Amino acid sequence: MEGLSRIWQWLCAPAAGKKDQHYSTSPYVNEEKCIACGKCIEVCPVGAAFLLGDVSRIEPNICISCGQCMESCPANAIDIDWEHDIPKFLECLTEYVYGDVKGKKDRVGYINFLLRITSDCDCVPWRDAPIVPDVGILASNDPVALDQASYDLVNKQKGLVNSSLHSNHEKGADKFRVVWPMVDGTHQLRYREKIGLGSRDYKLVEI
């Protein structure tokens, strides 16, 4: 769950900043799956994808990690190193947020709308079915506490059937690790607390 950092990325990060945040997620081609259709070459905005014989290649020194090749590949032959790349990516997002609010924490408030919660990132061009019922609206002057509370409240909900949530429907089960088993959403929360962006401790006051 990327919550605050995703919002900050879109509102406060210029194109160059977004590129810096994604630098650690360079995609690679699974040669056994590649069908050499050339779709990745067509969509790559910087010419990093090319054919070498009957297999696509992606030049990491040119790639800007936009992910368009992954989305367009009909054979699902393009992927990233989820174990090593994603934790660094989440840390980059967090550092970018911290750099923007540093020195003005007392003048910034945060609001999370836990409504129509779906499994995919907000950068995808489609709308999916919610995985849990609407929770409500949360607010805090501590962004880390806010996202930790949001994470916990979502997991306390009973999961909705006929959604991308194929298991862990019971209350208290981790909904996020089911839909994204290779991504630990709490890694970003721990890193935020480590660099001083806020605290994971919170007191929930309902109104």
Structural domain boundaries in the chain: 1-23+81-207, 26-79
- 19 or 147: whose pLDDT is higher? 147
Percent with pLDDT over 90 in the chain: 52
Residues 6+ apart with CB under 8 A from 49: 40, 41, 56, 57, 58, 59, 69
Enter the CATH code of domain 26-79: 3.30.70.20
Which single residue is written with the structure tokens 């070498």? 52
CA distance 153 to 113: 12
CA distance 81 to 27: 8
Q: What is the mean pLDDT of residues 103-110?
A: 83
CA distance 11 to 157: 29
Classify 192 in phi/psi space as left (phi over 0), alpha (psi -120 to 50) or beta: alpha
Predicted local confidence at residue 4, as pLDDT = 46
Predicted local confidence at residue 81, as pLDDT = 85
Confidence of residue 49 (pLDDT cuts 50, 70, 90): very high
Opening angle at CA 147, ends 189 and 9, nearest 5: 80
Predicted local confidence at residue 82, as pLDDT = 84
**What's the pTM value of the predicted model, to 2 decimals?**
0.77
